[in-house]
Structure 1
């Protein structure tokens, strides 16, 4: 696959960390307005307004892309980005198979380029926020941690994903 028509299903831009501490203690309350129709992307920084934006510790992993097809809907049919805490939910691409590549996503406002650095490994929180067995169900398909390589805008709706090159980023 070099170019594919895909769908941006959801975008999550959250200013807070909801999954801190021990999973047994439960998640923090969900702030209103986390799911957005449009997200601004800044090169090397992430999604404007997101909890990982500009954080040095997350420089190579400020945005997480995930495939809708991998959501464990058999555990919870209502599972979405608010439960997985990923940023961009895509339909029509096995994003997990593209680790190590550079891709662009164009929602009609111009391409936004990402280095797909490493898998986003599911943690024990998935069993709390989605349901028992979710962590295991998401192994190997929990999404991809990325570095934005260009400024741009992502919007919910139809888009084009293009594989550009092998990643130059370190994972």
Structure 2
């Protein structure tokens, strides 16, 4: 078992899918684009209020976890003047301090931001889409391949908040 001190840098619960249509047309308005400081997690369902909550097609992929350090590397690789806003990736839980893309598929992990651990099961990679070239920077889509985060299913109910947290990877 591995325990790591991390930081949850952003949380996104969005009732709409902002990346529909063609990237050249731009994303549709999203009232949740600024993120939130706290989310409620429900086992097997996802994040309360999110577009994928209790969506049958996304049961094993209702929550996406992303490593903010990837954006630091992206900014350096593409020569960007600043690191892109992590909320633009449209990932639900954005953390810093652990290489999320290395979470073992099928394994459980937990996040605890002070209200008790919330367990998740890692399932599949959250592949970036062509929208990344529009919302982050030209070249981001290609640069993020293999580093788009992990799609997960919550195993327990709980609450997560932005700020210091612990990540525990089981087995």
> What is the TM-score of this pair, normalised by structure 2?
0.91
- Segments of structure 2 that go 5 or more residues without pairing to the other structure are none
Runs (4+) of structure 1 moved beyond 4 Å?
none
The two structures, once aligned, show a CA RMSD in angstroms of 1.5
1:5–1:161 contact (8 Å) kept in structure 2: yes
Which runs of structure 2 are paired with 1:104-115 in the superposition (5 Å)?
A: 104-115=110-121
Residues 2-151 of structure 1 aligned to structure 2 (within 5 Å): 2-32=2-32, 34-71=34-71, 72-74=74-76, 75=78, 76=80, 77-100=82-105, 101-151=107-157
Q: Contact (CA 8 Å) 1:9, 1:156: kept in 2 or not?
A: yes
For structure 1, the 5+ residue unaligned runs are: 166-171
DSSP-derived class of the 1:146 partner: strand
Partners of 1:99 and 1:121 lie apart in 2 by: 16
Residues 149-164 of structure 1 aligned to structure 2 (within 5 Å) = 149-164=155-170
Structure 2 CA distance for aligned equivalents of residues 123 and 35 of structure 1: 20
- Aligned counterparts of 1:133 and 1:94: Cα–Cα separation in 2: 21
Structure number with higher helix proportion: 2
Aligned partners of 1:99 and 1:120: how far apart in 2? 14
Equivalenced residue count is: 165
